[in-house]
Amino acid sequence: MRLGVLREPEGEMRVALVPNSILKLSKSGFEVFIEKDAGVNANHSNEEYEGRGGKICSREDVLSCETIVSIRTPDLSGISEGTVLICVADPFRNPDTVRRAISSGITLISMDMIPRRLSRAQSMDVNSSQDNLSGYKAVLMGASEVPKAIPMMTTSAGTVKPAKFVIMGSGVAGLQAIATAKRIGAIVYASDVRKSAAEQIESVGGRFIEVEGMDDFEDESGYAKPLTPEFIQKVNDTVCEVASDADVIVTTARIFGRPAPITIPESAVHSFKKGSVIVDMNADVGGNCELTSPGEIVIKHGVKIIGIKNLAGTIPSSASMLFSNNITNFVISISGDDGLILDSDDDILVGPSEDSDFFVEGMGGVLICSSGELHKNQTRLGGIL
């Protein structure tokens, strides 16, 4: 069985597979082919891959493998019919990719569709592994850009008060952001539309911002539910009021398969104190701040707004290692003597069955299309194809 690792396009510093994963894959019967210089940006040389048993080769050789792994979805025109492509396809936002895979007879497996509530899938959950690092890096970026010290400092010249951080959202990224901000000495406030998140926020050192009338707005798959416009406004008003004197505000609100909700309108930015910093973690899907400029750092109304995309990719060594572990665990879990086994009863591949505790109507797994057809359990994608 041949498994190929593609070099990512310009701007993506991560690599889908690191050298340490090759031994595990080899024991499961895979020959691993790595496109030349695929790991250079993540600080893994060609020699390091070869030292672990990998084979450095051309892109054409990688594209000829039966199974191909990457982070970004590659150009499908060079991939043969019957190939299994494992990547982060983000199918809801990239329906044309799904259509091309179907028409080309490519089996498309999108790792961002892992059913995260399945305990067996946790070691394969690329969303969680990358979000963890993104939350960490968002706080460091905010701390480096704000014009004051973060922890309290008592000196002979006077006392420096600790910085105030507000973290909007407390999913995987948000909790890591709270914990990181607390570790570097900030006073941390955090919000979430899930009332059940209060205990989690407090467990990592944050202070929960409660909104009057708050319920537990979480769906069965673990994601935040879409909210009514009225409640969104109430949440925005309450949290932005708490953030009005904050030094750093980190936004993490992301709704699966939808554009990022606006949690900081321009009117709120206007009321924030001069010199404060907003780190928008969802610039890649529109941004949580109305004034975010995706891919840029801008100053509006005296507030610095960081819209850097792909925060995990700015820590390529750690991000690649975790992504590689996710991919390796997944591939080994579905491999057999004669190749990958795409079992229609596998909850990770097709989503939980109706008699499962984790079943949600229309919830699919990572297998988006197989044998040139949209997979039967991927009903959530029906509206875009």
pLDDT in tens, 120-164: 899 999 999 999 999 999 999 999 999 999 999 999 999 999 999
236 and 220 within one domain? yes
205 and 71 within one domain? no
Catalytic residue among 7, 21, 49, 125: 125
Predicted confidence band at 381 (pLDDT cuts at 50, 70, 90)? low
On whether residue 142 sits in a domain, the answer given is: yes
- Give CA–CA dist 282/295, Å, rounded: 10
On whether residue 12 sits in a domain, the answer given is: yes
Contact 170, 147 (CB under 8 A): no
265 and 212 within one domain? yes
Catalytic residue among 14, 52, 100, 116: 116
Is the alpha carbon torsion for 359, 364, 370, 372 positive or negative?
A: positive
235 and 149 within one domain? yes
- Give CA–CA dist 50/36, Å, rounded: 11
Contact 378, 255 (CB under 8 A): no
Indicate which CATH number applies to the domain containing 222: 3.40.50.720
114 and 46 within one domain? yes
Q: Where are the beta strands (DSSP E) in the chain?
A: 2-5, 31-35, 55-57, 67-69, 84-87, 107-110, 153-155, 158-160, 164-168, 187-191, 207-208, 248-251, 277-280, 297-300, 303-306, 335-336, 339-340, 367-370, 373-374
On whether residue 381 sits in a domain, the answer given is: no
Catalytic residue among 122, 293, 317, 318: 122
324 and 298 within one domain? no
Last-in-domain residue among 280, 309, 338? 309
CA distance from start to end of the chain: 32
CA angle 134, 254, 96 (to 5 degrees): 100
pTM of the predicted model, to two decimals? 0.91
On whether residue 230 sits in a domain, the answer given is: yes
pLDDT of 48 over the 50 cut: yes
Helix (H, G, I), strand (E, B) or coil at 209: coil
178 and 75 within one domain? no
pLDDT of 356 over the 50 cut: no
On whether residue 382 sits in a domain, the answer given is: no
On whether residue 361 sits in a domain, the answer given is: yes
On whether residue 216 sits in a domain, the answer given is: yes
Q: Which domain holds residue 248?
A: 133-309
Q: What are the residues whose beta carbons fall under 8 Å from the beta carbon of 315, sequence distance 6 or more?
A: 133, 136, 137
227 against 265, higher pLDDT = 265
273 and 143 within one domain? yes
**Average of per-residue pLDDT values in the chain:** 90
Catalytic residue among 49, 136, 189, 223: 223
**Is 128 a catalytic site residue?**
yes
pLDDT of residue 160: 95
Q: Which of 57, 83, 87, 107 is nearest to 1 (CA)?
A: 83
pLDDT of residue 359: 38
319 against 219, higher pLDDT = 319
pLDDT of 185 over the 50 cut: yes
Q: Where are the beta strands (DSSP E) in 143-238?
A: 153-155, 158-160, 164-168, 187-191, 207-208
* Number of separate domains in the chain: 2
Catalytic residue among 70, 128, 324, 370: 128
DSSP string, 74-134: PPGGGS-TT-EEEE---TTT-HHHHHHHHHHT-EEEEGGG--TTSGGGGGG-HHHHHHHHH
102 and 36 within one domain? yes
**How much is the average pLDDT of 69-90?**
96
Last-in-domain residue among 309, 329, 357? 309
Is the alpha carbon torsion for 127, 130, 136, 139 positive or negative?
A: negative
**Is 189 a catalytic site residue?**
no
147 and 47 within one domain? no
On whether residue 6 sits in a domain, the answer given is: yes
346 against 47, higher pLDDT = 47
Is the alpha carbon torsion for 249, 297, 15, 371 positive or negative?
A: positive
The CB density around residue 266, as the number of other CB atoms within 10 Å, is: 13
**Is 125 a catalytic site residue?**
yes
pLDDT of 351 over the 80 cut: no
214 against 381, higher pLDDT = 214
Last-in-domain residue among 293, 309, 325? 309
143 and 119 within one domain? no
345 and 290 within one domain? no
